[in-house]
Chains A and B, each alone.
Chain A
Amino acid sequence: DTGVSQNPRHKITKRGQNVTFRCDPISEHNRLYWYRQTLGQGPEFLTYFQNEAQLEKSRLLSDRFSAERPKGSFSTLEIQRTEQGDSAMYLCASSLTQGTGYTFGSGTRLTVV
């Protein structure tokens, strides 16, 4: 297992378009998290899953954002009608239920033009 994998690494999109990112966690990890990081800031929590159940969502996650984790394996994060303010690094992480620190992926850098 090579860790948490995120695709694509970079995405440039026009304002108003929809984008979808994918995260493949470490296979034995039950928990999966999405974070967003903008320049000069630390990662900000968006949402997390325990297996396939989405257990918590931040108020940062507007109605334009939706995350899924079908079958409790990989997860997707979709942003509809992108805005320039959505430009950020989107980080996925996973952990064991009884784990210590999260394992983060390398992130997807989104640029909305």
Chain B
Amino acid sequence: DQQVKQNSPSLSVQEGRISILNCDYTNSMFDYFLWYKKYPAEGPTFLISISSIKDKNEDGRFTVFLNKSAKHLSLHIVPSQPGDSAVYFCAASARRGYGGSQGNLIFGKGTKLSVKP
């Protein structure tokens, strides 16, 4: 049973346009959410995170939105660049762990983003 769902396996966007990647979760205990980017033959790279006490977090071209009532989050990339082409994973944590950091993460299956020049 998938607790974190990324229902779009792939997304194709034109360079310069906005990319919107979506993620749904089922566990209401999740209180911390993260997005990772993964290139082939590399490990996932942390992109951006958001705590459940916020509904938006922005870092440069990347913005994550959280809708707790809908148990939905999204990652917006604007403007999209060809170098953004990768697999994007949504992840969530149900515990703070020691000292406020996240405990173990539950990942979605990923969405492959292709940004065309």
B68 within 8 A of A: no
A residues whose Cβ falls under 8 Å from a Cβ of B: 4, 6, 31, 33, 40-45, 48, 50, 56, 58, 91, 93, 95-107
Do B43 and A104 have beta carbons less than 8 Å apart? yes
Do A33 and B107 have beta carbons less than 8 Å apart? no
Do A45 and B43 have beta carbons less than 8 Å apart? no
Do A45 and B104 have beta carbons less than 8 Å apart? yes
CB of A24, distance to nearest CB on chain B (Å): 13
Do A93 and B107 have beta carbons less than 8 Å apart? no
* 22 A-B contact pairs sorted by A residue (CB < 8 Å): A4-B43, A40-B109, A41-B109, A42-B6, A42-B91, A42-B107, A42-B110, A43-B105, A45-B104, A45-B106, A48-B104, A58-B104, A91-B43, A91-B44, A93-B43, A96-B101, A97-B101, A100-B49, A101-B46, A102-B46, A104-B44, A104-B45
